Amino acid sequence: MRRLLLRSTLAAVGATLAIFGIPLLVMGLLIALASTERRASFVETTTGLRGALILTGVVLALVVLGLAAGWFVAQRRARLIGDPLTELAARAERLGAGESRFMPLDSGIEELDRISDVLSRSANQVTRNLAAERDFAADASHQLRTPLTALLMRLDEIASTDDLVVVQEEAQVAIDQVERLSKVVDDLMGRTRVSDPARPSVSLDAVLASLQREWQPAFASSKRSMRIHGERGLRVRATPVALAQILSTLVENALAHGRGTVDIAARRAGPSVVIELGDEGEGVAASIAPHIFERSVSSTGSGLGLTLARDLAEDNGGRLELVSTQPAVFAVFLSEAD
């Protein structure tokens, strides 16, 4: 901007000097190249009162022309600086009023363009932060809902029985679910931290047994059953909370939208362990299947939960796929622990 101001000043001064200098230079050349008689005639014309008036008029005319030229050049240069400043201020005001997008300004003025770029980056960062906060709120709502629902079922079982043994068993399961809920909260709070690539080794049998105990009341009330089979003694690389959340989401989805027995099978597949979960329902519609893991597919009851489950699988070095649509069969692929 300093260079632009300097050029603007020099342009205005130069235009003014040109208005004075060019006519005087032309006049001097004409006089120098004129004949002796013409120079004598010119001297005679410019002497006396008449000559003084003529020269004064010429000087005044040159002054007015010089001022007009300087004003015109200054106005042009002022617009080159003022218009980008006005536009930048207007865009900054719209950004402050809540507009999420800030289009960078291309004014050709280095300082203004740098300010515009900084504002654009800041606006993009704010937009990303707001989106991340909305996603976090949605994720937290869904991840906390499943263990809370299971805990409520256990409390209902306790409230509806007088058998002390059953009360003790259900209370122990409820305590385990509270501990799991606490770990889910810790996991949510740590999602922004860099994950540790050295994931722990977890017993798949223990996670599946806990899952079966947790969902047994829900299946009993729906007069449905859960069947767990396959290879035993498998260990996978994942956090227990994340693995339990992935499988709970799939079980909840099958219980809500499927029919018949929910079948869970575990097996080795090379260096991976595959956990397949399916039911005897009608499956997933062909129009929904390609978008089953998108957040927008929430009206069918399959959007947010499956999106979270897929993200958790990827965070633990695995993946979640829909391997069959009719009947619906989901497969979780995780690395086998040594």
Task: Give the domain CATH number at 263.
Answer: 3.30.565.10
Residue 154 lies in a domain: no
pLDDT tens string, the chain, 338 residues long: the values are 555 555 656 666 666 666 656 666 666 666 666 667 766 665 566 565 666 666 677 667 766 776 676 667 667 766 766 777 777 777 777 766 666 666 677 766 677 677 777 777 777 776 666 666 666 666 666 666 666 777 777 777 777 777 887 777 778 777 777 776 776 666 666 654 444 456 789 999 999 998 888 888 888 888 999 999 999 999 999 988 889 889 988 998 898 889 999 999 999 988 899 999 999 988 888 888 888 887 666 434 444 578 888 888 988 889 999 999 989 999 999 999 87
- The answer to whether residue 23 sits within a structural domain is yes
- Considering the domain boundaries, does residue 160 fall inside one? no
Where among 99, 133, 154 does a domain terminate? 99
Quick check: 293 and 332 in contact, CB under 8 A? no
Which tokens in the block code for residue 135? Answer: 């996603």
Domain boundary pick from 69, 99, 129: 99
* Domain assignment present for 327: yes
131 domain-assigned: no
Classify residue 115: in a domain, yes or no.
Answer: no
Model's pTM, two decimal places? 0.49
* 94 and 216 housed in the same domain: no
Domains: count for the chain: 2
What are the φ/ψ torsions at residue 268 (nearest 5 degrees)?
A: -85, 150
Clarify whether residues 323 and 199 are in a common domain: yes
- Domain of residue 67: give its range: 2-99
Closest to 166 (Cα-Cα) out of 223, 219, 216: 216
Asked whether residue 79 is assigned to any structural domain, the reply reads yes
Q: Residue 114 domain-assigned?
A: no
